[in-house]
Amino acid sequence: MTSKNSIPEYVTFADAAELLVRQGLAGSMTPQGLRYIERRANWPFGEGEGREPYLIAGRTRLMRTARLIAYFREHPPTGRGPDKKPRRRRGGSQ
């Protein structure tokens, strides 16, 4: 991404995660979290009816930013969010 205020026409999963947080559409987001959301039936990108194909650049998939932002405005993330406290380990001594 070029600057904090510019919005590119296409974004990678990493840039999209950062952009969604910066735009206030997600409290926190990682590229992995975005790839998890990608599994939803109503995800607007990929192959299939009503979906927009990814733009392929080498081995990277790019999404049209305007459509991504519109999707998150209509379908805000509802995940658990980032870890708040350590989890208890299984097995072994504590």
Give the residue among 85, 83, 84 at the shortest CA–CA distance from 30. Answer: 83
Domain that holds residue 36: 10-74
- pTM (global) more than 0.85: no
Q: Is residue 79 part of a domain?
A: no
Give the residue among 6, 10, 1 at the shortest CA–CA distance from 62. Answer: 10
Tens digits of residue pLDDT in 11-61: 999 999 999 999 999 999 999 999 999 999 899 999 999 999 999 999 999
Q: Does residue 77 register a pLDDT over 60?
A: yes
Q: Which pLDDT does position 86 carry in this prediction? A: 73
Q: Does residue 79 register a pLDDT over 70?
A: no
Cβ(24)–Cβ(7) under 8 Å?
Answer: no
Q: Number of folded domains in the chain?
A: 1
Q: Is residue 55 part of a domain?
A: yes
Q: Does residue 1 register a pLDDT over 60?
A: no
Q: What angle, rounded to 10 degrees, do the helices at 13-22 and 65-74 form?
A: 50
